[in-house]
Amino acid sequence: MNIKNIIVTTVILFIFWILLDNTFELLNLLLGAGLALFLSLIFCRSCNVFGDMKLTPLGITYTFIYLFVFFIELLKSNLDVARRVISPSLPIKPGIVEVKTSLKSPMGRMILANSITLTPGTLTVDIEEDRLFIHWIEVKTADPEQATNEIVRKFEKYLEKIYG
């Protein structure tokens, strides 16, 4: 039984309860907390989704920094796509490149792949062990190491702190 998993699942379920319920009466909150704990005890005894998340103050701080960086990249990515779509010459130079990640945890890798998809000009096509195949709308370099520096680095340095 993984205590950390159950705690994280309970907190997430409780936050969802508050958001959906939208009233702040004591009885409702207590019921929600009870249900959240009950459900995570039933369903999350053997799941191992949050097992390698670091719940230290440093990890939580980096989670927020990461969210901030992510939103900036999301905005940049949309402006980038908008620019490409509007310009009459359609400036694209697409290709699929290979990059490597140093993250070990499956959850960390999933978040990395999703973040790559939502950032400027890149789309994760497949992931195999530590190699990610990425469709890049404007290929700057075909060399795996340089592509890794270009695409993965900016997220990896935060995710490393959160997931190790």
Partner 1 sequence: MELVGAIIVLIGSIFLFLGALGILRMPDSFNRIQAGTKATTLGTLLSLAGLIFLMPGWWGKLIVLIMFIILTNPVSSHVLARAAHHIKTPLTPQTVIDKYADEENKELDNHKTEVA
Q: Looking at this protein, which amino acid is placed at residue 7?
A: I
Q: 3 vs 87, which CB is nearer to partner 1?
A: 87
Cβ proximity to partner 1, 10 vs 124, nearer residue: 124
DSSP state of 132: E
Q: What's the min distance (Å) between Cβ of 1 and partner 1?
A: 26
In this complex, which beta carbon is closest to partner 1, that of residue 94 or of residue 164? 94
Give the torsion through C-alpha atoms of 11, 40, 9, 13, to 10 deg. Answer: -50
- Looking at residue 10, its amino acid is T
Binding site for partner 1 (CB under 8 A): 16, 18-22, 74-75, 77-78, 80-82, 84-86, 90, 92-98, 113-115, 117-118, 121, 123-126, 128, 133, 135, 137, 139, 142
What gap in Å lies between CA 61 and CA 53, rounded to an integer? Answer: 13
Shortest distance (Å) from residue 16 CB to partner 1: 7
From the CB of 73, what's the least distance to partner 1, in Å? Answer: 10
Contact of 13 with 40, CB cutoff 8 Å: yes
Instruction: Give the C-alpha separation, 151 to 162, whole Å.
Output: 19
Helix (H) or strand (E) holding 40: helix 26-43
Select 1 or 89, whichever has its Cβ closest to partner 1: 89
Q: Minimum Å distance from CB 22 to partner 1?
A: 4
